[in-house]
Amino acid sequence: MSGTLNKVMLIGHLGDDVKVHRFEDGGCVGRFPLATNETYLNKQTNERVSNTEWHNIILRNKAAEICEKYLSKGDKVYIEGRIKTRKWQDDKGLDRYSTEINCTEFTFLSNKQDSHADMNSSSSTPAQQQDNTSSEDSNSSDDLPF
C-alpha cells in the first residue's frame, strides 16, 4: 500500500443541469456544478453565516448518461470520487488550473413526484442496485452488516 488516499464524499445540490459531451467512439463525459453549504453562528456578531462551496463534477460514459436522464438543477445528490487538478492554457497563453471531482459513485437523494419505473425507492443507480442484490445473495448466511 502506498499510504495515500484521494477520496471525496459530497452531498449537495446541482447548480445546473448535467451537460454531456458525446464522442464519435460512443463514449461521453458529463459535467455539472455541485453546491455544498456550510452554516454557522458568528459568535462576535451573533449572526448566522452561510457559505457555499462550488465543486466541478465529472462523470464518464454510463454514469453521465444516467445522471443526464434523471438529474436536474436543484436536485440533491451524494457524490463519491477523486480530486483531479487539470492544467490548461487560456487564449492568452497563460497557465490555468481547474480542480474537479471525478465521480466514481453517486446516489440520488431528491424525491421526485413522478417516480421513475427503473429506479427503486433507495434512489441508487441501476448498477448499484444490481451490485447490492448480488452481494446480498452471496452473503445471506453472514450476520455481518458489511
Query: pLDDT at position 111, please?
Result: 81
Q: In whole numbers, what is the pLDDT of the chain averaged over residues?
A: 82
pLDDT at 11 over 90: yes
Query: pLDDT at position 86, please?
Result: 93
pLDDT at 85 over 90: yes
d(CA 95, CA 79): 29
**Could you give the number of structural domains in the chain?**
1
Q: Locate all alpha helices (DSSP H) within the chain, ordered by sequence.
A: 61-70, 126-138
Residue 76 lies in a domain: yes
| pTM for this model (two decimals) | 0.71
pLDDT at 115 over 60: no
pLDDT at 28 over 90: yes
Q: What integer is the mean pLDDT of 80-85?
A: 97
Q: Which domain holds residue 87?
A: 8-138
CATH number at residue 127: 2.40.50.140
Residue 95 lies in a domain: yes
pLDDT tier for residue 1 given thresholds of 50, 70 and 90 = low
Residue 129 lies in a domain: yes
Residue 1 lies in a domain: no
Residue 144 lies in a domain: no
d(CA 107, CA 76): 9
